[in-house]
Amino acid sequence: MRSTVAVFAALMAFAFVTAAPPAVAQPTLPPLPPPGAECNHPNCTPGIRPNIVLGSYCNNHTYYAFGVTSWGRLVFCGSPRRYEPRWFRSPEMHGVKLENDLCPALEGEVAQAPDGLFLTCVARDGRSYWERGDL
């Protein structure tokens, strides 16, 4: 009887150790575009820094100015009224865009140029276009 209990306990321990961990639901993100395709989401934008603390100081509000907090909030490095740059909540981000390209109906929203330049959509002279966001 004791040997049967010992064998059963050993089998249960082996099953416990080799069992696959339970599946954990992953957040659903938009699919990555194929290489060379247009990028319209933060998840395909290069250079976004992880584990940023909202409100903490940052050092570059011109190039690769985007980050994400530990809980998934998109932030950008900005310098309001010429104070030291800090991390702020980001407006809606539209991936990688070209400076001076049109951005109809996206005024006040942000993007990043292929070289990492921070862009914002501005409406001026009867058109909306991507302009440097650090000015």
Give the pair of three-digit tokens for residue 55: 């409100």
Confidence of residue 34 (pLDDT cuts 50, 70, 90): low
* Strand runs labelled E in the chain: 49-52, 66-69, 74-78, 86-89, 93-96, 110-112, 118-124, 127-132
Q: What domain range is 48 assigned to?
A: 38-132
* Helices assigned H by DSSP within the chain: 2-18
Convert 86-109 to b/e letters by CB count within 10 Å (16 or more is b).
Answer: bbbebbebbbbbeeeeebeebeeb
The residue with greater pLDDT, 45 or 34, is: 45
35 beta partners:
none
127 beta partners:
124
The whole-angstrom separation of Cα 128 and Cα 117 is 18
Task: Express each pLDDT in 35-93 by its tens digit.
Answer: 667 899 999 999 999 999 999 999 999 999 999 999 999 999 998 777 899 999 999 99
For residues 46 and 35, the answer to whether their CB atoms sit within 8 Å is: no
Task: Express each pLDDT in 76-135 by its tens digit.
Answer: 999 877 789 999 999 999 999 999 999 999 999 999 999 999 999 999 999 999 999 987
Any domain includes 85: yes
Any domain includes 18: no
Considering its fold, how many domains does the chain have in total?
1
Q: What is the pTM of this model?
A: 0.72
Any domain includes 89: yes
